Amino acid sequence: MKGIKLYFLHAFVDRCQLILSILIVITCLLITTVQPAIAGINDDRYDGNIFVVYAGNGSLVPPAQTLAQTLAEHKPAILTFYLEDSSDCKQYAIVISQIQAFYGRAAELIPINVDSLPHQKSYKPTEAGYYYSGGIPQVVIFDQAGKVVFNQKGQVPYEDIDDSLRQVFNLLPRTESVRLKRRSYNELNSELTP
């Protein structure tokens, strides 16, 4: 009787070892054949905050103010609608960062990830969803009175946005003006240092 029990025990252990060996081989094959999830600027894969990854400007998200707060302060606003997994938006993040570099202190730049827009039947004119027209990227510019002065979808050239903002701020056209200078957001505030 002991011999039969011992025989079955050895057979059971051998089968367990065989199953374990097969599982190890399958796991190794899966690990070596699965391609890593690599995302880039020219594909529609998610790889993080597009403003940090592609524009070097993580200060844009989350926005400093809502559209309602900005309109209440009678401050010009620039809404930009985007998706983090859109190649068009990834490429356009550089333009949005450039807008902030030149106009970020005078106007409120409000990037809105369209995936974060609440799904409702209607929006108020003080809510970003009111102005979203279904395409990305989309740029909407408001003047000091809260009137929409620019609303375009797609990769709108920086110069078109600049022309609209020059009108909002009553600046000379680009052809008649001195070249705008970029302002750094890493400036030293001399008032705080001795």
- Does the structure show a pLDDT above 80 at 85? yes
Give the model's pLDDT for residue 164.
95
- In angstroms, rounded to a whole number, what is the distance separating the alpha carbons of residues 99 and 34? 40
pTM for the model stands at 0.72
- 58: confidence class by pLDDT, cuts 50, 70, 90: confident
Give the model's pLDDT for residue 45.
84
Looking at CATH, the fold of the domain delimited by 60-168 is given as Glutaredoxin (3.40.30)
- 183: confidence class by pLDDT, cuts 50, 70, 90: low
Query: Per-residue pLDDT tens for 104-139?
Result: 899 999 999 999 998 888 999 999 999 999 999 999
Query: Per-residue pLDDT tens for 168-182?
Result: 999 888 888 766 565
Tell me the CA distances in angstroms from 159 to 2, 13, 95, one per residue in order: 90, 74, 10
- In angstroms, rounded to a whole number, what is the distance separating the alpha carbons of residues 16 and 39? 41
Helix boundaries (H) for 34-137: 50-53, 67-72, 87-103
DSSP state at residue 145: T
Average pLDDT, the chain: 84
Give the model's pLDDT for residue 181.
60
Block residue for tokens 């730049």: 109
Give the model's pLDDT for residue 35.
60
On the 0-12 / 13-18 / 19+ scale of CB atoms within 10 A, 18 is exposed
- 193: confidence class by pLDDT, cuts 50, 70, 90: very low
Residue pair 118/57 in contact (Cβ under 8 Å)? The answer is no
Residue pair 95/103 in contact (Cβ under 8 Å)? The answer is no
The secondary structure element, H or E, covering residue 36 is: none
Residue that wins the pLDDT comparison between 129 and 186: 129
